Structures are given as structure tokens and as C-alpha cells.
């Protein structure tokens, strides 16, 4: 294939004819999350087994192919593009892809290019990310206790992550911390995480654990409903509901005592699917129309079939017609199997 990154833009004749992506329920798909690798330098207990079998490198799309696919979605109306993993910054030469995609920011066709990271590589890449137009990132951080951090991540170094956060802030990148609320592990630390984030002008979002992929733990032991977390927090903080949106599923409140924002992502206690504007692309070119469903579309075949994007656009259009109304996540003692077999790192967060 003779495709060169940077040559495909929404000025192309085919791109001008593509139209927007509207699913069967009238929702416009404007947000693409891309897992650039299923690999990670952590092994978080709620996300992966310690001894993971990752995809063979030969099965992954090249960075040039990922660029072409992402650019096709931009031509189809995607306005926000988030790179995820695994850990996106462990993908070899990842800055090549990020710099190439940044042309859509410069043209105005893309409103935001961002990523979700565990922070381990931020010290290395923060300045380059800022120079490429990345203005905001999400960093996963479940605890500020060094020993507990190593326990939950298995391989992680908290000091390295905190140094990476400082480097990103110094580079002018806005950071939102993501913390998975885990019963018996970090529920008592949430006020501390909140104060830590808000003191550094970072927002904090809490996430319920989701039944995706086989792990070494029992999710019924981990699951902590955020409705109860909010009730507990309201005993020491004044929480005021906000209409603030970032394009994702979080519902935000203002914490009056700190002046910062706190988000809640509640796939279990409150299904947020009615406003879903997202699809997820894997590093192998598989498109999942819903995080919590198994139905998927093979875009790699269309991508490699022709240098002409007409077939690729048609494949994307067909996939969007199959986007479901929502997911069906359940965590209880009688439902031991995960709702979907694939791990979160495969799907793209």
C-alpha cells in the first residue's frame, strides 16, 4: 500500500461526500477511542491478569494504518479522538502517530486529540505531547499510597507517575485523574485523592469497576457503587450538580470546599447509554460499537483492500447501523463470568 501519513485529509473529494455518522437511535457518533496497543507496563488487578497473553505484534495495524483509519473517522464527523491502550505511550514510535494526527487539529477538522495513560511514560513524552497540540489528558491513579499503588498495579512505581503528572502540568497540559473505586481498597482514600487533585487544578473522576475480561480477583469483592460513595462524600463536602460535559459519560459535581470538579462514571448503577456518542477501535482494526457488547466490525479488511477510501467509508457506515442502544453489565455473586470476554485494554478504555 502506498499510503503516506498526512496525505489523507477532509479536503479529499471522497471525504467531502462522506456525511456524518448517525446510529439507529439518532445519536451522532463524534467521538472515537483508539486502543493503539493492548500492551501495558502495569498489571492492574481490576483490569488484567498478572500473566497476560498479548496480541502478536504482526497482528497490529501499523501506525500508518492507524493514522489512515483515524483520519477516515475524522472525515466522517469525529470531533474528538482519544488514544488509549493498554498503555498508549508504550507503543513504539507513538509520537509519529500523534504528530501526524495533529494535522487535523491544525485544520480545524478535529476539536481535540487526547489520550488516557497510566502516567508511567509522561516524564518522557509530556513536552512532545504539548508541542503536538495535546491540551488535556486523563491519568489513571487509584491511590496515593506507595505500597497500595504497587499492590493494585503489580508493577507500577507511584513516584514515577507523580513525576510524570508534574511534567505534564509543567508543559501546560490539563490533567484529569481517573480513579476506579474499589471496595475495601481505596474507598477511604477518595477524599484525599480529591484534595490532591483539586489542589493542583486537576479534576477527579471516579469509575465503577466493569465486568470485562477474566482477572485474578472476584469482582463482587471489588465492586463499590458510586451512589454510596457520593453519599459518603456528601457528609464532608458540598456537592453541587453541574451541566459540565467533556464528551464522555461522566456526570460532574462541583466540590464547593475545594472549587474543583468531581466526575462519576457509573456503568453499573446508572446506565449512561442514552447519550452515547462513542465507538472504539482496537489496534487490530476491529471496531466495537459498544464497550459492553461483543458485536464488532472488521475494518482492517476494508483498510487493506484498496487505497480508495470508498470501501472503508462504506464499512464504517454499515457498522454504525449496528450500534446498540446500550450495554448490559451485571456484577453479582451468581454472575461469575465477565459480561464480555475481552479485557478493557483490548477495546480501548
Q: Can you give the CATH number for the domain in which 287 is found?
A: 3.20.20.70
- The annotation status of 183 as a binding-site residue, yes or no, is no
Query: What is the rounded distance in angstroms from the CA atom of residue 201 to the CA atom of residue 199?
Result: 6
What is the model's pLDDT at position 5?
A: 53
Asked if the structure places residue 199 within a domain, the reply is no
Query: What is the rounded distance in angstroms from the CA atom of residue 254 to the CA atom of residue 137?
Result: 20
Q: Which H helix or E strand runs over 102? A: none
Query: What is the rounded distance in angstroms from the CA atom of residue 196 to the CA atom of residue 158?
Result: 14
- Look up residue 90 and give its DSSP letter: G
Q: Which is higher by pLDDT, 4 or 197?
A: 197
- The annotation status of 276 as a binding-site residue, yes or no, is yes
What is the model's pLDDT at position 15?
A: 42
Instruction: Identify the domain containing residue 288 by its residue range.
Output: 13-175+274-347
Asked if the structure places residue 243 within a domain, the reply is no
- The annotation status of 103 as a binding-site residue, yes or no, is no
What is the model's pLDDT at position 316?
A: 97
- The annotation status of 86 as a binding-site residue, yes or no, is yes
Query: What is the rounded distance in angstroms from the CA atom of residue 141 to the CA atom of residue 146?
Result: 11
- The annotation status of 116 as a binding-site residue, yes or no, is yes
- Local confidence band at 18 (pLDDT 50, 70, 90 cut-offs): low
Asked if the structure places residue 250 within a domain, the reply is no
Nearest alpha-carbon partner for 207 in 114, 255, 269, 285 = 269
Longest CA–CA separation in the chain, Å = 61
Distances (CA, A) of 274 to 29, 156, 347: 13, 36, 20
Asked if the structure places residue 221 within a domain, the reply is no
Asked if the structure places residue 225 within a domain, the reply is no
Provide the number of structural domains found in the chain: 1
- The annotation status of 283 as a binding-site residue, yes or no, is no
- The annotation status of 304 as a binding-site residue, yes or no, is no
- The annotation status of 278 as a binding-site residue, yes or no, is yes
- The annotation status of 290 as a binding-site residue, yes or no, is yes
- The annotation status of 70 as a binding-site residue, yes or no, is no
What is the model's pLDDT at position 291?
A: 76
What is the model's pLDDT at position 244?
A: 86
- DSSP assignments along 221-254, one per residue: HHB--HHHHHHHHTTTS-EEE-----SSS-EEEE
What is the model's pLDDT at position 75?
A: 97
Instruction: Supply the pTM of this predicted model.
Output: 0.84
What is the model's pLDDT at position 342?
A: 46
Asked if the structure places residue 108 within a domain, the reply is yes
- The annotation status of 140 as a binding-site residue, yes or no, is yes
**220 pLDDT more than 90:** no
Phi/psi at 176 (5° precision): -115, 130
- The annotation status of 245 as a binding-site residue, yes or no, is no
- The annotation status of 82 as a binding-site residue, yes or no, is yes
What is the model's pLDDT at position 46?
A: 81
Nearest alpha-carbon partner for 277 in 263, 294, 291 = 291
pLDDT, tens digit (0-9, with 9 covering 90-100), for 278-311: 999 999 999 999 877 788 999 999 999 999 999 9
- Local confidence band at 88 (pLDDT 50, 70, 90 cut-offs): very high
Average pLDDT over residues 124-151: 96
Amino acid at each position: 500500500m502506498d499510503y503516506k501519513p498526512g496525505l489523507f485529509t477532509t479536503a479529499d473529494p471522497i471525504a467531502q461526500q462522506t456525511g456524518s455518522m448517525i446510529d439507529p437511535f439518532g445519536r451522532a457518533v463524534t467521538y472515537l477511542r483508539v486502543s493503539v496497543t493492548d500492551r501495558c507496563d502495569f498489571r492492574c488487578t481490576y483490569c488484567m491478569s498478572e500473566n497476560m497473553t498479548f496480541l502478536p505484534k504482526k497482528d497490529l495495524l501499523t501506525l500508518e494504518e492507524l493514522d489512515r483509519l483515524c483520519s477516515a473517522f475524522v472525515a466522517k464527523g469525529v470531533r474528538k479522538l482519544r488514544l488509549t491502550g493498554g498503555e498508549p505511550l508504550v507503543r513504539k514510535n507513538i509520537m509519529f502517530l500523534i504528530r501526524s494526527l495533529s494535522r487535523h487539529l491544525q485544520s480545524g477538522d478535529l476539536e481535540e486529540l487526547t489520550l488516557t495513560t497510566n502516567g508511567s511514560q509522561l516524564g518522557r513524552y509530556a513536552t512532545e505531547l504539548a508541542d503536538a497540540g495535546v491540551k488535556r489528558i486523563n491519568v489513571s491513579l487509584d491511590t496515593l499510597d506507595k505500597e497500595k499503588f504497587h499492590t493494585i498495579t503489580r508493577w507500577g512505581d507511584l513516584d514515577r507517575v507523580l513525576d510524570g503528572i508534574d511534567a505534564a502540568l509543567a508543559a501546560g497540559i490539563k490533567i484529569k485523574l481517573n480513579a476506579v473505586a474499589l471496595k475495601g481498597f481505596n474507598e477511604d482514600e477518595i477524599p484525599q485523592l480529591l484534595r490532591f487533585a483539586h489542589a493542583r487544578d486537576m479534576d477527579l473522576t471516579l469509575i465503577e469497576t466493569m465486568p470485562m475480561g477474566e482477572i485474578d480477583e472476584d469482582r463482587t469483592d471489588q465492586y463499590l457503587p458510586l451512589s454510596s460513595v457520593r453519599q459518603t462524600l456528601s457528609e464532608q463536602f458540598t456537592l453541587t450538580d453541574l451541566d459540565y460535559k467533556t464528551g464522555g459519560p461522566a456526570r460532574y459535581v462541583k466540590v464547593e470546599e475545594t472549587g474543583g470538579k468531581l466526575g462519576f462514571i457509573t456503568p453499573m448503577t446508572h446506565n449512561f447509554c442514552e447519550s452515547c456518542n462513542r465507538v472504539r477501535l482496537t489496534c487490530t482494526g476491529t471496531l466495537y460499537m459498544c464497550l459492553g457488547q461483543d458485536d464488532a466490525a472488521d475494518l482492517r479488511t476494508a483498510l487493506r483492500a484498496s487505497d480508495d477510501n470508498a470501501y472503508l467509508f462504506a464499512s464504517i457506515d454499515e457498522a454504525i447501523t449496528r450500534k446498540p442502544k446500550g450495554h448490559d453489565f451485571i456484577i453479582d455473586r451468581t454472575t461469575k463470568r465477565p459480561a464480555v470476554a475481552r479485557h478493557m485494554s483490548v477495546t480501548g478504555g
